Amino acid sequence: MNTQGYNLYALTVDIDWAPDFMIDEMASAFIERNIRCTWFVTHSSPAVDRLRSNPLFELGIHPNFFPGSSHGSTEDEVIKYCLDLVPNAKSVRTHALYQNSRLIAKLSNEYGLLVDCSLFLAATPGLIPHVLYTNRQHKKLLRIPFYWEDDVECFNSRPNWDIQSNIFKTNGLKMFNFHPMYVGLNEFDFRNYELIKGNYQGVKSLSQLTKDEVAPYLNDGPGVKSFFIDLLQYLNSANHPTYTASDILNIYNSNNE
């Protein structure tokens, strides 16, 4: 496959039970710059409903298969819960990238998911999507590896928040993944998130936090939000088209007819 044919930028968001005001702020940033995005949904809320109506956006599912999940206690319960949130979902990224070959086959064969974005290959040049055949009837699941993630960058001993770095302009598919909570906090080393989570644990869920409650934990230096805005500005000013997971599926199918 021609790597150059997949020299694409794609933006994704794992919603992860974030407050509505953080989801809305990210959505507004995308809309203002005409940037497409795939949102992987964990829960229902008015902000999620607002995402559904915008043609820039695709909604996929973000199932949590770990013990204690609010989505359910079995694989099937979890998947069905998430598909009730997004009945027409084509794409999936599992929470914390939980995966095994049987689960991947189930998502494709039994639940009709067409695209999986649960493979993280950090800063790997030349990325391309690839197909897994998941049964004897040649059913296919397109796997789209992603290139960068905000929380992983926060754990880097020398995080790079400079969109002009060559690492962000290599050939191949470059799918970036963000979380509204880390963007909203402008997180930079994960300490603010851990602090706010610890302080409100048992008091209220993160999805219920208000702007005033979050304000003391905001980072005012370089971080996830500053990088997020710089990335959107770069893509917009350079006229780089952006793609959802289903857009990439359509490109793949067109290239392999």
User: Which pLDDT belongs to residue 19?
Assistant: 98
- Nearest-angstrom CA–CA distance, 221 and 192: 13
pLDDT along the chain (257 residues), means of 10: 74 98 98 98 98 97 98 98 98 98 96 98 96 91 98 96 96 97 97 96 94 97 98 97 97 89
d(CA 123, CA 95): 20
Q: Report CA Rg, the chain.
A: 18
Which helix (H) or strand (E) segment holds residue 253: the answer is helix 245-255
The model's pTM: 0.96
Three-state secondary structure call for residue 42: coil
Please provide the size of the chain in residues.
257
Residue 1 has a pLDDT of 42
Distance CA 139, CA 127 (A): 23
Reported for 228-232, long-range contacts at CB under 8 A and 24+ positions apart, including other chains, are 228/26, 228/29, 228/150, 228/178, 228/183, 229/29, 230/161, 230/162, 230/163, 231/11, 231/163, 231/168, 231/176, 232/11, 232/29, 232/30, 232/33, 232/35
Amino acid code (one letter) for 165 = S
The domain spans of the chain are 3-255
Q: For the structural domain made of 3-255, what CATH number should be given?
A: 3.20.20.370
Q: Find out whether 135 and 109 touch, Cβ atoms under 8 Å.
A: yes
Residue at 197: amino acid letter = K
